[in-house]
Amino acid sequence: MSKELTIAVLGGGSFGTAIANIIAVNGHHTYLWMRDSNKAERSQRTRENAEYLPGYQLDDNLTLTSDLEGAVINSDVVFISVPSQSFRSVTQQVAPLLKADAIVVSTTKGIEPKGFTLMSQILEQELNDVHIGVLSGPNFAKEIVQQQQTGSVIASDDEAVIKCIQDVLCSPTFRVYANRDRYGVELGGALKNIYAIVSGLAVQVGSGKNTQAMLLTRSLAEMGRFASELGADPMTFLGLAGVGDLILTCTSDLSRNYRVGQALGQGKTLDQAVEEIGQVAEGVNTVKIVKQKADELGIYMPLVNGMYDILFLQRPLAEVAQGLMMGEQNNDVEYSSRT
């Protein structure tokens, strides 16, 4: 094992709790910061995050706290695992507390609407003298804490970041792969949430395996096309943070976005669907943000357009589906490895 470090994970949701516990089990002094002081105190006392991971015992080496300064000020590595809407404000609070040369890693899968800004770009804008990384992949927290074998991706252009995060998180059931295309990895984590809604809706209304296979494959094509136009490597989408995360979130009701699609397929309104989930479903906002960017750049994204029409224009599903099937017929594979 690498030398013992002090590490803070900011955000007491299911994924933040899961990775904080992995790090604590690996022998590092670990803080898990929760905004709500009552929840933090209760979780510290009971050794359980009852709201997000009920029934799972937390390691004794993990300190749960609502004291942001106490968690961050001596930490060598800081993971930020808060919803995208809160990401910039939390980063701004953290900025004056960080050690020089600290490593800061985003695990948040979302896009800030203003300027189409990804989370690691917010880190670049708000922080100085830190090393930045992105952790993403097909990672349901519930299965991580059940010690199901899981793979994730650390993306950074800094080799020291990659090596550190691999050492900190590596365990018999959690493996971390490296990728240098930080932008592509991060885009994959955000975009797949859109297609999880599409898939949940399709399954709920009785679509067969043929339809599901077509949706998954065309979703991947759309993701690659969009990312390539924005400067990412489309081949990144053949890895865990692309097709791996896409398969996971488009085939399981453990995905909040998939469950939003299911609720829509049951005839519920968007507001009813979101309220029923009770947690942030990043894909709803991502649909709107990505459609605007695709329209601006002239990128062909029929599934995004169709989902936008269903979510925000209340266009009937049958009409959208017919339009998708009768639209422009494209090539199956539209990009290849860069040379």
Give residue 280's pLDDT band: very low, low, confident or very high (50, 70, 90): low
pLDDT of residue 1: 47
Give residue 339's pLDDT band: very low, low, confident or very high (50, 70, 90): very low
What is the rounded distance in angstroms from the CA atom of residue 272 to the CA atom of residue 5? 44
pLDDT surpassing 90 at residue 330: no
Q: What is the mean pLDDT of the chain?
A: 92
Q: Render pLDDT for 7-36 as a digit per residue (tens, 0 to 9).
A: 999 999 999 999 999 999 999 999 999 999
Q: Render pLDDT for 31-89 as a digit per residue (tens, 0 to 9).
A: 999 999 999 999 999 999 999 999 999 999 999 999 999 999 999 999 999 999 999 99
pLDDT surpassing 50 at residue 321: yes
CATH for 6-180, among 3.40.1440.10, 3.40.50.720, 3.40.710.10, 3.30.450.20? 3.40.50.720
What is the rounded distance in angstroms from the CA atom of residue 280 to the CA atom of residue 285? 10
Among 93, 88, 54, residue whose Cα is nearest residue 73: 93
CATH class of the domain whose range is 191-326: mainly alpha
Q: Quick check: helix, strand or coil at residue 185?
A: helix
Q: What percent of the chain has pLDDT over 70?
A: 95
Among 55, 61, 39, 57, residue whose Cα is nearest residue 47: 57
DSSP state of 171: B
In SS3 terms, 238-286 reads as HCHHHHHHHHHHHCCCCCHHHHHHHHHHCCCCHHHHHHHHCCCCHHHHH
pLDDT surpassing 60 at residue 202: yes
Q: Render pLDDT for 208-227 as a digit per residue (tens, 0 to 9).
A: 999 999 999 999 999 999 99
Residue type at 279 in one-letter notation: Q
Contacts of 255 (CB under 8 A, 6+ apart): 140, 196, 200, 248, 249
Cα–Cα distances (Å) from 101 to 84, 160, 245, 259, 311, in that order, read: 24, 11, 31, 40, 43
Residue 124, phi-psi category: left (phi > 0), alpha (psi -120 to 50), beta (remainder): alpha
For the segment 154-169, the average pLDDT, to the nearest whole number, is 97
Cα–Cα distances (Å) from 174 to 15, 25, 119, 171, 239, in that order, read: 13, 12, 23, 5, 16
pLDDT of residue 37: 97
Contact between 311 and 270 under an 8 Å Cβ cutoff? The reply is yes
pLDDT surpassing 60 at residue 336: no
Set 39, 99, 109, 192: catalytic member: 192
Cα–Cα distances (Å) from 323 to 166, 238, 318, in that order, read: 45, 28, 9
Q: Quick check: helix, strand or coil at residue 29?
A: strand
Q: Render pLDDT for 166-196 as a digit per residue (tens, 0 to 9).
A: 999 999 999 999 999 999 999 999 999 999 9
pLDDT surpassing 80 at residue 150: yes
pLDDT surpassing 50 at residue 111: yes
What is the rounded distance in angstroms from the CA atom of residue 295 to the CA atom of residue 317? 21
Q: Which DSSP string corresponds to 71-139?
A: HHTT-SEEEE-S-HHHHHHHHHHHGGGPPTT-EEEE----EETTTTEEHHHHHHHH-SS-EEEEEESS-
Q: Render pLDDT for 222-279 as a digit per residue (tens, 0 to 9).
A: 999 999 999 999 899 999 999 999 999 999 999 989 999 999 999 998 888 888 877 6
Domain ranges of the chain: 6-180, 191-326
Tokens in use for 172?
Answer: 């018999």
Burial class (CB in 10 A: 0-12, 13-18, 19+), 172: exposed
pLDDT of residue 325: 74
Q: What percent of the chain has pLDDT over 90?
A: 82
pLDDT of residue 138: 97
Residue 150, phi-psi category: left (phi > 0), alpha (psi -120 to 50), beta (remainder): beta
pLDDT of residue 329: 65
Put simply, whether the predicted model's pTM sits higher than 0.75 gets the answer yes
pLDDT of residue 2: 60
Contact between 1 and 26 under an 8 Å Cβ cutoff? The reply is yes
CB burial string 258-279: b at 16+ within 10 A, e below: bbbbbbbbeeeebeebbeebee
Q: Render pLDDT for 113-128 as a digit per residue (tens, 0 to 9).
A: 999 999 999 999 999 9
**Would residue 209 show up in a list of annotated catalytic residues for this protein?**
no
pLDDT of residue 160: 96
